[in-house]
Structure 1
């Protein structure tokens, strides 16, 4: 990393030259800063100084005929300006050093998750959509290091309360050549978390409110139940944008699965969100002003851009790489590195007609949306079911614009998102070797994010409270070192077929998972089908119209082909054998799982989706034997409080030596164990 002494003259000259170069076809045309002022209460960070917050709206446009944009579905059918280009605009939010010369000339970019910023815990703050207002500015991770933090909208379905700093995007509606509305099949997967809701808002307006013959509403209680058709007399359109059950006032049953297929109209060109991410970051990195002369607030400063994402935006960036958007219109690299947290092997239901980019499929959630489709891996592989050969990095490898990638995910992604396809061949017969540009890390025994270890929610067991953020911070530093000076990151840490740590969800005894009293194990995991979305799917137009029952749909030979997928095997405690183990897993007080099942009252034993479980060990041998628990008690494992803390301290040193924990996080990790043991009165000191 260069020292904070300002930019080299050559870099400034290059930035100025870029500003006066011939205009490119896709670009940010206008920026409007609507709010600018001190951040973090005016606190000055040693060596960096004070930060400021910039909030505004950016406008952009793309040439639909350009090969860099023509893959955006329906972009050629969107309204065009006088230059023949298609326009969009989005919200942005920037936190930057007031004096950029004192910063580290690096950007952390996060594409928000459904409009909201999610980097708070990673950054050691409390989160929220206005991170500049944190009450603990000096305890942050990024600002003391001089990073600029950037966020921008890309998803039309995100929240619209801009007063709360949500980052949204405004997209054009595609029309037929004669100006009439485009119509086509659309599909809604509906699950209500309460028993009081009487209407449901559609993602696209219905083409007709009077013709219900092409619409269908079904209901089932559990995922494997046969769906029951609700007759046309049992539901109606409230208006073009919502439906209701009849008679008026009838509520949707809590946790039941409703599916609604209908003819919709006026699709938005959602794939422009990919271009917006590309062109905004390219503008910040390479341009001096917008078309009207308004200054780029980061002009001449940006040397590296790294992404941090959590969940859904990671699937956005999977597609971003697949379509080649890490190359801007001038052939330059946009992102240098990506830290992907809990995204795994899926893409996004985005660059399709009538797509719904806020959706993501799990074993009981948002079925039939197109996201788990080949190619799954970055490396080029051959699909045994279709014969296609492709990889997510094919286009950037051809243009030499690939970002480095650290792919980090939880055990939950194996159970409910088929993550094994990220690092096995699609036939499920062998592991893939790491490519030179990516490393892969399983956070052992984690759920999708950090759960609540004191509550069950809809699930049978307590949530899984394991916290990956200290490891993510260490890996972010490793990513910068990799991109800056070529220092290789920690080696991949994942379960593999070759060593037997990755296996089919076989019977419980074969997985290693213990028979814990009161804990149900079904081996439920998502099945990755090759679904038939219709003959026009390759052009981005889905013609699927789900039938009345799910079973015949999956029994259809066109939809019944399956990609083999696998899950991590466990030790005798039920904790994952492979992967990166945080101290709570290396020196455990409980069994932690990436999967969970719903309680019977909430549709169980269907999957509890992104949730995992924490199943505490018994305190003493007597407690264990009374419960017939096969797992050793806390007292049997560690003897005394001092012995437990010694073992935990060793686990922390091990992670630090592996570059998986920063020195500055070590004390907090150590004392977290102290608090857990004392709070539960699990051990006595002797």
Structure 2
């Protein structure tokens, strides 16, 4: 009879190993385990531990779920015919796992930088040593930070990933045309070839296939460096005699380099330099999506790895949630679009997703991709980031003729997660976010799938601090207008709790809240009724979008393939971009109107413009505007400001506090604000009263 328990134990071990093998994470090495945050306790969840290490994975390049990875067929294989990768992991978990809330929350780090504690806890550091106010810990989440972007350089405590270089089967290097838009914050004699606005000294450069930039390649191709002031300006070619593939520190002789470019007279800020060159050795970047898929599969289903090491956070019945901010949110949407939420065993990788300020898709599953680039009006305008499909709803695009949805693949395999999509007003103005909930020509609102909620955070910019009652405006030295301080931290907390309740307890989240064509809160830019505010600069423009022709090797339907046309020609027809209508103060009408919008002390917008950089006039990248109300009626009349002053709106401190109480009560009832944050907002209003917002 004793053989039965032993047989059962052996079977259990066998099934555990099978589960580990299916998950495709083959090995997890934890190199550091220590108390987190100095042993601080967080309510019912208690103290936290921090675990750091690496996860090693492998994928079958012939598996249908992996075949879509660009250049997977050109990646080196191990003895089992698998393609290997490894990723850094950083875990924060309750020291007593039984005190957690049963949810694994994965952070798709932004260019290697951890986001969760800064966004939800108000932490000022991104190295996981600052708990902020401890919100996520008090909630009991287990937080998993991991690398997924393989082209990051070491340094800055960035969380990184390693993948192989694609090579031809005969061992020769893979080459191709690369366009690098070079932007510098200060004058520099030489820079990395990858030095864009968001990639300064942080992203690896694709090496040039030849340092001799004057000698034509066999097909006649010759590298070319140009410069212009604004995106739409004509490119001025810089003579080949003035630049080279080299490092040339000031006062020193130039040293040839495969990954740097030297310019006579140096690169200057406020200019768009564009290098088109022949590069070699592309990384198999799409393996980053395999890591996003394989890690939750392992951590939720496998008790141990293939070598018998225990899964460091395994508990039965854990829910898996994933969060991505900005660039990470866009990659999260492409991960979903390409079908990676179905793991190799056919299971759902994530139960819930929260793409945050991440409109559009992303450019990572492309040969020689630049995943650190963005979608700006002036900066990174021509990089692939906004190919159709735009929405979670299946719709026909009259410009390309395709009928698609971001959810097509996961719906076909019944592996779609529940999605809370959150974006700011800036994503509508600068980031084309209206295409996520209208048809491509902006003629009608789209119905939404049952598993999706979309929330626009009214009158907010791309990112802000955590100040619950700002009295001093943040500096925006490059912009024409002061920057927008309206925080969305507290709204995001409420939305995360709603997503968790939805995935764990089937409690429906609040209805979607965003501007709509049907009720007049989503309009053309020339229809916005913005008040005439003294000193305010407002241009009724958006970030125009046309189809980009990247060449025959590029599959726009999946943002996948090989780009040949650089710079890409733009199609003749524009998509229709709509923006929020505003109230008499100039604050957005549609979406989630926070306390700072319902009880305003300023006009807060999702747009701002460069003062001098790039010729002035274009969108000041990722910045909103703030135009404070006058303190008194006399002040506003003297300035000619049509907006009522603070003293006219709130004749007493009690009147202001009462208005804040009413606004917080409404938001709590709508589940867009948590009780604890409402109490903090009321306390701040009692402390400060209707304090004017001052310049930095």
- Specify if TM > 0.5: yes
Q: Deviation of residue 634 (structure 1)?
A: 1.4
Aligned to 1:154, which of 148, 152, 156?
Answer: 148
Q: Does 1:511 find its partner at 2:528?
A: yes
2-structure distance, mates of 1:678, 1:196: 46
Q: Deviation of residue 528 (structure 1)?
A: 1.4
Tell me which moved more, 439-448 or 603-612: 603-612
**Judging changes above 3 Å, is the alpha-carbon distance between structure 1 residues 303 and 271 closer, same or farther for their aligned structure 2 residues?**
same
Q: Does 1:545 find its partner at 2:560?
A: no
| Cα shift readout 1:319-343 (whole Å, capped 9, x = no counterpart) | 1110111111111111111122211
1:27 corresponds in structure 2 to 24
Instruction: Tell whether the 8 Å contact from 2:629 to 2:692 is kept in structure 1 after alignment.
Output: no
Q: Deviation of residue 387 (structure 1)?
A: 1.6
Aligned to 2:136, which of 142, 147, 153?
Answer: 142
Q: Does 1:497 find its partner at 2:517?
A: yes
1:630 corresponds in structure 2 to 642
1:412 corresponds in structure 2 to 426
Q: Does 1:75 find its partner at 2:72?
A: yes
2-structure distance, mates of 1:631, 1:587: 14
2:329 corresponds in structure 1 to 314
Q: Does 1:440 find its partner at 2:454?
A: yes
2:483 corresponds in structure 1 to 463
Aligned to 1:208, which of 210, 217, 230?
Answer: 210
Instruction: Tell whether the 8 Å contact from 2:122 to 2:489 is kept in structure 1 after alignment.
Output: no
Instruction: Tell whether the 8 Å contact from 1:502 to 1:568 is kept in structure 2 after alignment.
Output: yes
2:506 corresponds in structure 1 to 486
2:45 corresponds in structure 1 to 48
2-structure distance, mates of 1:276, 1:321: 13
Instruction: Tell whether the 8 Å contact from 1:15 to 1:287 is kept in structure 2 after alignment.
Output: no
Instruction: Tell whether the 8 Å contact from 1:348 to 1:357 is kept in structure 2 after alignment.
Output: yes
| Cα shift readout 1:263-309 (whole Å, capped 9, x = no counterpart) | 11110010000001110111100011111111111223452011222
SS of the residue 1:20 aligns to: helix
SS of the residue 1:59 aligns to: strand
1:475 corresponds in structure 2 to 495
SS of the residue 2:635 aligns to: helix
SS of the residue 2:572 aligns to: coil
Instruction: Tell whether the 8 Å contact from 2:356 to 2:421 is kept in structure 1 after alignment.
Output: yes
| Cα shift readout 1:108-155 (whole Å, capped 9, x = no counterpart) | 110110111011233324143432x3366xx31122222111010001
| Cα shift readout 1:420-466 (whole Å, capped 9, x = no counterpart) | 11011123221111210001111001000116823122101111111
Aligned to 2:572, which of 551, 554, 560?
Answer: 560
Aligned to 2:285, which of 270, 279, 285?
Answer: 270
Q: Does 1:585 find its partner at 2:587?
A: no
Q: Does 1:386 find its partner at 2:400?
A: yes
Instruction: Tell whether the 8 Å contact from 2:231 to 2:381 is kept in structure 1 after alignment.
Output: no
Instruction: Tell whether the 8 Å contact from 1:118 to 1:128 is kept in structure 2 after alignment.
Output: no
| Cα shift readout 1:189-243 (whole Å, capped 9, x = no counterpart) | 1121112453333321111111435211111112332221112122111011011
Instruction: Tell whether the 8 Å contact from 2:120 to 2:490 is kept in structure 1 after alignment.
Output: no
Q: Deviation of residue 609 (structure 1)?
A: 1.5
1:362 corresponds in structure 2 to 376
SS of the residue 1:274 aligns to: helix
Q: Deviation of residue 13 (structure 1)?
A: 13
Aligned to 1:350, which of 358, 364, 387?
Answer: 364
SS of the residue 2:92 aligns to: strand
2-structure distance, mates of 1:604, 1:493: 34
**Judging changes above 3 Å, is the alpha-carbon distance between structure 1 residues 302 and 122 closer, same or farther for their aligned structure 2 residues?**
farther
Instruction: Tell whether the 8 Å contact from 2:87 to 2:162 is kept in structure 1 after alignment.
Output: yes
**Judging changes above 3 Å, is the alpha-carbon distance between structure 1 residues 423 and 242 closer, same or farther for their aligned structure 2 residues?**
same
Aligned to 2:259, which of 225, 233, 241?
Answer: 241
| Cα shift readout 1:638-679 (whole Å, capped 9, x = no counterpart) | 222221121111101110111111111112222334455465
2-structure distance, mates of 1:377, 1:16: 44
2-structure distance, mates of 1:17, 1:478: 38
Q: Does 1:226 find its partner at 2:252?
A: no
Instruction: Tell whether the 8 Å contact from 1:15 to 1:300 is kept in structure 2 after alignment.
Output: no
Instruction: Tell whether the 8 Å contact from 1:122 to 1:470 is kept in structure 2 after alignment.
Output: no
1:112 corresponds in structure 2 to 109
Q: How does 1:322-341 map to 2 (within 5 A)?
A: 322-341=337-356
1:665 corresponds in structure 2 to 677
Q: Which runs of 5+ in 1 are unaligned?
A: 1-11, 548-552
Instruction: Tell whether the 8 Å contact from 1:107 to 1:302 is kept in structure 2 after alignment.
Output: no
1:8 corresponds in structure 2 to none
1:6 corresponds in structure 2 to none
Q: How does 1:276-315 map to 2 (within 5 A)?
A: 276-301=291-316, 303-315=318-330
Instruction: Tell whether the 8 Å contact from 1:584 to 1:673 is kept in structure 2 after alignment.
Output: no
SS of the residue 2:490 aligns to: helix
Instruction: Tell whether the 8 Å contact from 1:154 to 1:274 is kept in structure 2 after alignment.
Output: yes
1:255 corresponds in structure 2 to 270
Q: How does 1:570-649 map to 2 (within 5 A)?
A: 570-600=582-612, 603-649=615-661
2-structure distance, mates of 1:276, 1:516: 50
1-structure distance, mates of 2:11, 2:152: 36
SS of the residue 1:120 aligns to: helix
Q: Which runs of 5+ in 2 are unaligned?
A: 1-8, 195-204, 217-221, 247-256, 466-471
Q: Does 1:376 find its partner at 2:390?
A: yes
Q: TM-score, normalised by structure 1?
A: 0.91
**Judging changes above 3 Å, is the alpha-carbon distance between structure 1 residues 217 and 465 closer, same or farther for their aligned structure 2 residues?**
same
Aligned to 2:544, which of 520, 527, 535?
Answer: 527
| Cα shift readout 1:509-547 (whole Å, capped 9, x = no counterpart) | x31111212112222211111111101101511111228
1-structure distance, mates of 2:505, 2:524: 40
2-structure distance, mates of 1:631, 1:197: 49
Tell me which moved more, 214-223 or 321-330: 214-223
Instruction: Tell whether the 8 Å contact from 2:108 to 2:325 is kept in structure 1 after alignment.
Output: no
Instruction: Tell whether the 8 Å contact from 2:47 to 2:94 is kept in structure 1 after alignment.
Output: yes
2-structure distance, mates of 1:619, 1:489: 39
Q: Deviation of residue 105 (structure 1)?
A: 1.9
2:225 corresponds in structure 1 to 217
Q: Deviation of residue 166 (structure 1)?
A: 2.2
Instruction: Tell whether the 8 Å contact from 1:117 to 1:128 is kept in structure 2 after alignment.
Output: no
Instruction: Tell whether the 8 Å contact from 1:444 to 1:577 is kept in structure 2 after alignment.
Output: yes
SS of the residue 2:430 aligns to: helix
**Judging changes above 3 Å, is the alpha-carbon distance between structure 1 residues 159 and 515 closer, same or farther for their aligned structure 2 residues?**
farther
Q: TM-score, normalised by structure 2?
A: 0.90
Instruction: Tell whether the 8 Å contact from 1:95 to 1:148 is kept in structure 2 after alignment.
Output: yes
